[in-house]
Amino acid sequence: MTSKEKLDVARQLAKLGVDIIEAGFPASSKDDLEAVRMIAKEVGNTIDDDGHVPVICGLARCNRSDIDAAWEAVKYAKKPRIHTFIATSEIHLKYKLRKSREEVIAIAREMVSYARSLGCEDVEFSPEDAGRSDREFLYQVLGEVIKAGATTLNIPDTVGYTLPTEFGELINDIKSNTPGIENVIISTHCQNDLGLSTANTLAGAYAGARQVEVTINGIGERAGNASLEEVVMAIQCRGKELLGGLYTGINTRHIVMSSKMVAEYTGLHVQPHKAIVGANAFTHESGIHQDGMLKFKGTYEIICPDDIGLSRSNESGIVLGKLSGRHALRSRLLELGYELDGKELDDVFWRFKAVAEKKKHLSDGDLEALISDEVFQPQVIWSLGDLQVTCGTLGLSTATVKLIDTDGVEHVGCSVGTGPVDAAYKAIDLIVKVPVTLLEYSMNSVTEGIDAIASTRVVIRGENSHTTTHALTGETVHRTFRSGTLLLISTCQSVFLLALCLPASNQFIFVFNSGTGAGMDIVVSSVRAYVNALNKMMGFKTVSASKVSSQSSLEDKSS
Ligand SMILES: CC(=O)SCCNC(=O)CCNC(=O)[C@H](O)C(C)(C)COP(=O)(O)OP(=O)(O)OC[C@H]1O[C@@H](n2cnc3c(N)ncnc32)[C@H](O)[C@@H]1OP(=O)(O)O
Ligand SMILES: CC(C)C(=O)C(=O)O
């Protein structure tokens, strides 16, 4: 993060109500020193309405120059802190520091004293790799730094090696065996190498730690650190009942905002299934869960999304996909204004499933396209069985189409054409054997992306029928009505037009012949539209659905 980004994050952490912001490692670069100093000056001096001002802390190795840099950065804060550390495990002493235990004890003691001598009254000390350190040596180091003036003892499980029971015992043992421990705060610092950082932190807190070191989104070295949101929400959900009444002062409503900011600034995006702040943490995709959520949210949610500042695009967090059931589909359609039940719902449901098999999530636009394709249908005279096309730059486009008639008999037609759609339409003509002219063909993608549903609309005219193009709609109608009848004509989607039938050889003849089709495959979508238009031309009959009940059959409405 840049200094400016670090400052923004620090402001956000203050809003969250964190007690201590460890803002950086000032010795690591001039820029980091400057960032910590800016944070100390601004955030470390801003007292909130509750009189709360966070401690601003800088990290430093156990050497004078690091500690000087840390103090130089944090000293402007109302509550400055230096956090200094040195490893205590055999492996670190031998291979990394190349120092004896005695040397490490002496350095730790001297450097804590040195930090205090600069005027810093709040000094935190960490025995790095405490999780793998010899216990007796650990108690000895900790006892010495307490004498030297450390005010907080942080116990790092630097490589995330301990198990929760072990880490809890470590804190308990430190409490029981370290001289002077009652005068300091014990802290946890758990890394996530085994995915146990949150569990270990909670075990440490339960054992008596009263500071927990955490990061937003769990970011950190390697597999990261314990995440603030997980630890805080676990304490909020279960602290009273199972953790001896523990609580935090975190204003949880700022959690989502903080998570987004850190993800944005660090470029470390949160995995979708991350607890609390993952994109899926409060969404429900499986039918059985969705049904439960619709009946009572507590069935599948242990946290109210509002509590972490999450506003969902829909109330129940339901995402429609291939695992959804009828309850969820029906509920979403109802929200969109379509009241479907029984057979209609069933038909849409299986179409929906088929699309969802190919497309992960269905948007409202996708659903609307399916509804208009499935429900607002004329009487089915021909239904599409199968379709196979070949096309490209080599040879002619060819299509084989299988249509099924009202008796369930399958008819297959094959044709070549100028393209796959032309070939498919010609193959259909060979089966249906009704001369038609294609007047209009248009295609839109209903939703965005390469996997969008394509919606096709065609307008055809039956060649040998007495048809008239309707002046207002541009559509033609083939139904006979007595002259003087006031017709309520619906165009494809809920637009109503009135037309007065005028005498013309005693009857007026219209043909309704536009058809729509939807599908993820553009040729399938095109063929559906054509078959749909043919069906309309050959015998229009609307299927009722609430959304169209007011525009039901022409006959019903015409008088
Ligand atoms: C456990 C943790 O996560 S601590 C936080 C980790 N954060 C960072 O490392 C901050 C970013 N680091 C940096 O920018 C650089 O490493 C710096 C500026 C801090 C140090 O850079 P350099 O002085 O070039 O040293 P470098 O990092 O290569 O090596 C570390 C040196 O510090 C020593 N050291 C490591 N930890 C400590 C410690 N806690 N106290 C004293 N010395 C230490 C190492 O033994 C090594 O010393 P050597 O040169 O005598 O072998
Ligand atoms: C500096 C210490 C606390 C640390 O980061 C670690 O040991 O993981």
Report ipTM for this prediction: 0.97
Residue 366 has pLDDT above 70, yes or no: yes
Pick left, alpha or beta for residue 269 (phi over 0 → left; psi -120 to 50 → alpha; otherwise beta): beta
For residue range 174-187, list pLDDT tens digits in order.
999 999 999 999 99
Supply the residue whose CA is at minimum distance from atom 6 of ligand 2: 158
Q: How far apart are CA 530 and CA 401, in angstroms?
A: 12
- How far apart are the C-alpha atoms of 159 and 190, rounded to whole Å? 8
Q: Residue 66: what are its φ and ψ, rounded to 5°?
A: -65, -40
**Which pLDDT does position 360 carry in this prediction?**
74
pTM of the model: 0.74
Give distance in angstroms: CA of 60 to centre of ligand 1.
9
Q: State whether the beta carbon of 66 lies less than 6 angstroms from ligand 2.
A: no
- pLDDT number for residue 514: 67
pLDDT tens for residues 217-231? 999 999 999 999 999
Q: Report the nearest atom of ligand 2 relative to the CA of 83.
A: 1
Q: Identify which of 20, 88, 126 to mutate to test ligand 2's pocket (most ligand atoms within 8 A of the CB).
A: 126
pLDDT per residue as tens digits for the range 277-334: 999 999 999 999 999 999 999 999 999 999 999 988 777 789 999 999 999 999 999 8
Domains in the chain, CATH or no CATH each: 1-78 (no CATH), 287-373 (no CATH), 383-472+483-549 (3.30.160.270)
Encode burial over 254-283: b for 16+ CB neighbours within 10 A, e otherwise.
bbbebbbbbbeeeeeebeeebebbbeebbb
Which ligand is the nearest neighbour of the Cα of 96?
Answer: 1
User: Which pLDDT tens digit goes with each residue over 69-110?
Assistant: 999 999 999 999 999 999 999 999 999 999 999 999 999 999
Strand partners, 431: none
The band of 463, judged by pLDDT with boundaries at 50, 70 and 90, is low
Is 188's C-beta closer than 6 angstroms to any atom of ligand 2? Answer: no
Ligand 1 pocket (Cβ < 6 Å) reads: 25, 27-28, 61-63, 85-86, 96-97, 128, 158, 221
Q: Which atom of ligand 2 is nearest to the CA of 159?
A: 8
Q: Specify the ligand 2 atom closest to the Cα of 213.
A: 3
Range with the lowest mean pLDDT among 208-212, 264-268, 434-438?
Answer: 434-438
d(CA 146, CA 304): 42
What is the model's pLDDT at position 171? 98
DSSP 94-144: IIII---HHHHHHHHHHHHHHHHHTT---EEEEEETGGGS-HHHHHHHHHH
Query: Is the pLDDT confidence value at 540 over 60?
Result: no
Kindly indicate the confidence band of residue 374, based on its pLDDT and cuts at 50, 70 and 90. Answer: low
